[in-house]
């Protein structure tokens, strides 16, 4: 089981009936004037795996991934730059005429799809670097874990017709929210 699946399993154990009930009991209006229900989950610092809050203008609070040194990729031991360049040109040469003659990928003849996939597989095999799986190409393992946690929270919340959002007054507060149907919104 992957990291996100582990988080999904954990988040599913939360009392979602109580969270939904609290949303239904705490109705307010969003910025568009639509009724929404809100339930306070807690602070990012106590919920997400790293306990950190990220801002787009600062990254000094993020530790670099030990495997890739913060690069998001690692050298490919099978790298062959000349072969990679040839296969990249081959893929482009194959795809151009297919797009002109057949349009989207689902319309391509099976034997042509196979040629493209074979060239792409070779291209992938000899590319200069490999994606760092430890940090999900983000350059930080803790940022990757937090991203997977947020994705898991979003998926589980959605399965309960909810979503998560940050607080208006404090961006480090997390809430579960849901749209509330009223006679006016259903009319």
pLDDT band, very low/low/confident/very high, at 58 (cuts 50, 70, 90): low
Q: Give pLDDT tens digits for 65-117.
A: 999 999 999 999 999 999 999 999 999 999 999 999 999 989 999 999 999 99
Contacts of 141 (CB under 8 A, 6+ apart): 63, 65, 66, 67, 134, 135
Map tokens 């003659």 to a residue: 101
pLDDT band, very low/low/confident/very high, at 38 (cuts 50, 70, 90): very high
Determine the Cα–Cα distance for residues 134 and 122; give it in Å rounded to an integer.
Answer: 24
- Which has the closest alpha carbon to 37: 22, 27, 47? 27
**Strand 35-43 relative to strand 73-75, pairing:** unpaired
The model's pTM? 0.77
Domain positions in the chain are 3-53+139-186, 73-131
């Amino acid at each position: 089981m992957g990291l996100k699946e582990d988080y999904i399993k954990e988040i599913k154990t939360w009392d979602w009936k109580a969270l939904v009930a609290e949303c239904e009991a705490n109705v307010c209006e969003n910025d568009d004037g639509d009724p929404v229900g809100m339930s306070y989950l807690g602070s990012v610092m106590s919920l997400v795996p790293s306990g950190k809050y990220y801002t787009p203008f600062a990254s000094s609070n993020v530790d670099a991934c030990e495997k890739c040194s913060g690069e998001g990729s690692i050298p490919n031991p099978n790298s062959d730059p000349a072969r990679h360049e040839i296969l990249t040109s081959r893929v482009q040469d194959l795809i151009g005429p297919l797009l002109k003659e057949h349009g989207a990928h689902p319309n391509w003849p099976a034997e042509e799809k196979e040629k493209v996939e074979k060239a792409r597989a070779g291209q992938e095999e000899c590319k200069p670097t490999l994606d760092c799986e430890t940090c999900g190409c983000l350059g930080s393992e803790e940022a990757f874990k937090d991203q997977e946690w947020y994705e898991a929270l979003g998926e589980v919340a959605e399965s309960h017709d909810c979503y998560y959002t940050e607080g208006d007054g404090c961006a480090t507060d997390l809430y579960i929210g849901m749209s509330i149907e009223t006679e006016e919104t259903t009319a």
